[in-house]
Every structure is written in structure tokens, then in C-alpha cells.
């Protein structure tokens, strides 16, 4: 009977370990999924063709969408859940409403990569950017500037927005 109990406990423990590793999605992913393909939204996901070996950014995903009180609240709540023990790099509010922010999410000690969330809300348009790369928070600004310059350089002309 002791052998049986031991086996059952071992199986249950192994199952719990494997199960814990099975799900690693961010809460902010739900915002991208929910609003990314709606009318008025612009969803971008950069692939190897753009990022390649030109930058230390390994994943880039951005969403520009119309914002209202509900979507702003949902986005802020999702970001708060993903930040957990991460770092608030910048946060700016106006009349209690989040206007701009940048966060570094909790880093996996086994991985050299950092994850960032960047947020801006202007004129009822919200911009949400997810970036992942093997660079520390003090290099974030440089990497984003490099990304911008990369596009201008590839096009060989100044892009007018």
C-alpha cells in the first residue's frame, strides 16, 4: 500500500510540474486578440523578414486602436497583471487616466531576454506595444530608436507620417 501511495504521489507531482509549464501567455495578449482585428484598429506583428539580425528585438507587436474608458481600464488591468514583480519604468497620468507608460515585465531568470510593455493614449487613440529582446531596460530607448532608423534606412528615404 505504501508503494501504491508513493507512486500516486509521484505521478501527481510530475503532472503538476508539467502542467505548470504548459501555459505562459500574457494577459495583454487578450487585448491584442480581442481588438487587433476590429474596425479602426491597426495590428502589427514583425517577423524575421524585418527584425532578422538587424536588431536585438526578438519580438515586436503593436496595436493602435480607438480608446474609451472601458478599453483603457481593461488594458490597464491586463498590464498590471502581467507586470507582477516587474518594473515600472515610466508612468504618466492626467486626471487619473493613464496617458503614457513603459514597463519591464518580470524576467525569467533562466532566459537572457526581457519583455516590455509600452503604452500611450492620445486623442482617444491608444497605442500598445509589446517588445521582447535580450537587452536591459536601460537599452530600451536605444533599441527602439534603432528599429525606427532601420526602417528609414531600408526604405532609403525619409518616411513621412
Region near another protein per CB under 8 A, out of 30-38, 74-82, 106-114: 30-38
The angle that helices 28-35 and 69-83 make with each other, rounded to 10 degrees, is 150
Q: Which residues pair with 38 in a beta bridge?
A: none
Distance (Å, rounded) from C-alpha 55 to C-alpha 135? Answer: 10
Report the SS3 class of residue 9: helix
Helix (H) or strand (E) holding 117: strand 114-122
Is 37 a residue that touches another protein (CB under 8 A)? yes
Q: What residues from 43 to 72 belong to the interface with another protein (CB under 8 A)?
A: 43-51, 58-60, 62, 64
Is 122 a residue that touches another protein (CB under 8 A)? yes
Is 9 a residue that touches another protein (CB under 8 A)? no
Task: List CB contacts of 124: < 8 A, sequence separation 6 or more.
Answer: 66, 67, 68
Contact residue for another protein among 55, 75, 118, 133 (CB under 8 A):
118
Is 30 a residue that touches another protein (CB under 8 A)? no
Give the gyration radius of the chain's Cα atoms: 20
Binding positions for another protein, rule: CB under 8 A: 1, 4, 7-8, 11-12, 14-15, 18-19, 22-25, 36-51, 58-60, 62, 64, 87, 89-90, 92, 99-100, 102, 118, 120, 122, 125, 127, 129, 137-138, 140-141, 144, 147-148, 151-152, 154-155, 159, 161
Amino acid at each position: 500500500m505504501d508503494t501504491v501511495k508513493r507512486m500516486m504521489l509521484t505521478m501527481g507531482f510530475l503532472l503538476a510540474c508539467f502542467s505548470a509549464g504548459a501555459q505562459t501567455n500574457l494577459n495583454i495578449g487578450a487585448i491584442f486578440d480581442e481588438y487587433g482585428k476590429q474596425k479602426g484598429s491597426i495590428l502589427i506583428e514583425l517577423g524575421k523578414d524585418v527584425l532578422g539580425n538587424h536588431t536585438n528585438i526578438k519580438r515586436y507587436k503593436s496595436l493602435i486602436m480607438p480608446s474609451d474608458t472601458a478599453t483603457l481600464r481593461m488594458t490597464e488591468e491586463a498590464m498590471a497583471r502581467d507586470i507582477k514583480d516587474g518594473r515600472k519604468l515610466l508612468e504618466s497620468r492626467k486626471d487619473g487616466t493613464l496617458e503614457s507608460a513603459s514597463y519591464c515585465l518580470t524576467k525569467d531568470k533562466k532566459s537572457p531576454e526581457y519583455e516590455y510593455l509600452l503604452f500611450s493614449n492620445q486623442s482617444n487613440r491608444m497605442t500598445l506595444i509589446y517588445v521582447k529582446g535580450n537587452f536591459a531596460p536601460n537599452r530600451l530607448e536605444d533599441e527602439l530608436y534603432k528599429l525606427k532608423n532601420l526602417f528609414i534606412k531600408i526604405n532609403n528615404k525619409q518616411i513621412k507620417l
